[in-house]
Amino acid sequence: MRFPGGSVVFHIFAPPGRPGHPHKVEQKERAADEESPGRKRPEKKYKVIFLGKLPPPYIGPAVACRILINSRLKDEFRLIHLDLSDHRDINTLARIDFINIWLAVKQYFLLFFMVARHRPDLVYIPAGQSTVGYLRDAGYILIAKLFGRKVLTHLRGGYFRNWYNESGRLMQAFVRFVHRKVDGQIVLGNNLRSLFNWLLPDERIYVIPNGGDFQLPERSTAHKKITVLFLGNFIRSKGVLEVLYATPAVYKACPDIEFVFAGEWRDDETRKDFIAFLEKYPDLPVRNSGPVKGDEKFRLLAGADIFVFPTYYRNEGHPWVIVEAMAAGLPVISTNHAAVPETVIDGTNGFLVEKKSHAAVSEKIIRLASDPALRQRMGGESRKLYLAEFTESRMVERMADVFMRVISQKD
C-alpha cells in the first residue's frame, strides 16, 4: 500500500538475496518451524507494527531490522513494517536538517494511520540515545500509547544512561514521562540492564543479543603468514589506532605476521594519525583494504587467524563484527565494554584487554600468534559459543518470546 511521500510494506516476502518464489520460501520456513522441537507457535497470529530502518547504510540497527522482518517472525506474527530508512550517509543520523524533519513528520503520520487502521497488539520501536534521536522516538511511543497499544522499545547501544545524565533537567523529566509508559525494553546484554532498571521494573527489561546467519566461505589455510584482522568503521574509539600502534612490537616478536584493516574512515583526525604512523614505519606489514561488505567481508574473516576489536566506542552495545568473527571461528581480542564480555569470554574464546592500551593489545596478539594450538582452541570455542547463542534462530526465538511476554502482560 502506498501513501503520499512514502511507502509502507504490510507483507514481507523473500529475504534480499533469495530470489525465486516468495510463497515457496514462506512454506519451507513454515515447515521448518513446525518440525523444530520445542517451538510452540501462538494460537492467534498477533499483529505487530515493526518500526525500523533498512540498509544502506550498513549499521547495526538496520542489519538487525532486515534480519528480523525476513525471519520466521513473519510466520508467527503479522508483521507490519514501517520503514524508517534514510539511505543517506551515516553522518546524517540524528542530525537536525530539513530531510530528517520531513522524514519524522511523514513517519508520525504513517504510524498514526497504521495504528488507527490495524489496532496492533504491539508496537516495536527502536530507542534513541541522543537528544534528537530520543525526541523523534518519543513521538512514536506517544502515538502508540494514544491508542492504548502495548509498546516495546529496543536499544541497540550502551550510552542511554550517560546521555540521560548529561541532559538538562527538562529533557530528563521528558524521558521519565515518556519511557515509564513503555511496556517492555530490550537491551543487548545483561551488563546493559542498568541503563533502564531505574526507569522500569526489572521484569520489563529483556536481553536479546545480536545474532545472524552468515554465508562464510571455507576457512583459508593457503596463506603463509598469520593474519590479524581489524574490521569496523575507522573511528578512534573503535580501537583502530590501538591495533595499529601494536604492530611494531608484534612484528618484532613475530616476523611471520600481517595486519589487515578493513573499514571506512569516519574521523579525519584518526585518518591523519593512521597515515602519519605508517609513513614513520613504512616497513610494517600493514594492509588497508578500505570499506568491505558482503562476500568480500566474509572472505577477509575466513582468511584471518586473529580478530582484534579493542572498542571503547561510547554508543557500543553488542558489536556485530564480533559475532561475525566468532561465526568464522576466530579467537577475539576486545575490551570489557558494554555487552562485549558476554560474548568474548576472557581466556576461553579470546582475551579482554585494557581500554586504550596498545601494549595490552600487542601482548595478547603475540601470545596467540606464537601458539597455534591456543588459536585453534579459542577459535573453536568462538564457533561453539556462536552456534549456541548468537545465530539468527536464537535471536528470533528470543524476540518471539519477548513479543508474547509483552503482549500477554497485564496493564
For the chain (length 411 residues), average pLDDT per consecutive 10? 40 36 38 48 84 86 92 96 82 70 93 98 95 94 98 96 98 98 98 97 97 88 86 96 98 97 94 98 97 94 97 96 98 98 98 98 98 98 98 97 96 74
Given this model, what pLDDT does residue 42 score?
A: 56
Given this model, what pLDDT does residue 26 score?
A: 40
- Asked whether residue 215 is domain-assigned, the answer is no
- Asked whether residue 249 is domain-assigned, the answer is yes
Contacts of residue 387, Cβ cutoff 8 Å, sequence gap at least 6: none
Select from 111, 181, 107, 193 the least CA-distant residue to 150: 181
What does the block give as the cell for 309? 576489536
Number of structural domains the chain divides into: 2
CA distance 191 to 299: 32
CA distance 274 to 183: 46
One domain for residues 258 and 338: yes
One domain for residues 194 and 231: no
- Asked whether residue 66 is domain-assigned, the answer is yes
> Three-state SS for 264?
coil
One domain for residues 238 and 375: yes
Select from 170, 118, 164 the least CA-distant residue to 144: 118
- Asked whether residue 219 is domain-assigned, the answer is no
Q: How many residues does the chain have?
A: 411
One domain for residues 269 and 365: yes
Is-cis flag, bond preceding 372, omega within 30?
no
- Asked whether residue 220 is domain-assigned, the answer is no
One domain for residues 353 and 401: no
Q: How far is CA 332 from CA 22, 223, 302, 328, in A?
A: 38, 19, 14, 11
CA distance 262 to 232: 7
- Asked whether residue 218 is domain-assigned, the answer is no
What does the block give as the cell for 111? 504510524
- Among left, alpha and beta (phi > 0; psi -120 to 50; other), residue 40 is beta
CA distance 111 to 160: 24
One domain for residues 48 and 177: yes
What does the block give as the cell for 272? 591523519
Q: Are the CB atoms for 82 and 110 separated by under 8 Å?
A: yes
Helices (H) and strands (E) in the chain, counts: 14, 14
Given this model, what pLDDT does residue 18 score?
A: 36
One domain for residues 195 and 237: no
Residue 371, Cα to own-chain centre: how many angstroms? 31
Q: Which domain holds residue 335?
A: 226-389
One domain for residues 289 and 188: no
Q: How far is CA 312 from CA 42, 151, 292, 350, in A?
A: 41, 31, 22, 17
What does the block give as the cell for 411? 496493564
> The domain spanning residue 382 has which CATH number?
3.40.50.2000
| Burial annotation 13-41 (CB, 10 A radius, 16+ → b, else e) | eeeeeeeeeeeebbeebeeeeeeeeeeee
CA distance 13 to 74: 9
CA distance 308 to 368: 11
Given this model, what pLDDT does residue 11 score?
A: 36
One domain for residues 242 and 170: no
Amino acid at 65: C
CA distance 264 to 351: 25
Given this model, what pLDDT does residue 120 score?
A: 98
One domain for residues 25 and 163: yes
- Asked whether residue 216 is domain-assigned, the answer is no
Supply angle C-alpha 78, 83, 84, rounded to 5.
135
CA distance 140 to 49: 11
Q: Are the CB atoms for 111 and 49 separated by under 8 Å?
A: yes
- Asked whether residue 217 is domain-assigned, the answer is no
Contacts of residue 394, Cβ cutoff 8 Å, sequence gap at least 6: 211, 388
Q: Radius of gyration over alpha carbons of the chain, in Å? A: 22
One domain for residues 164 and 262: no
One domain for residues 137 and 179: yes
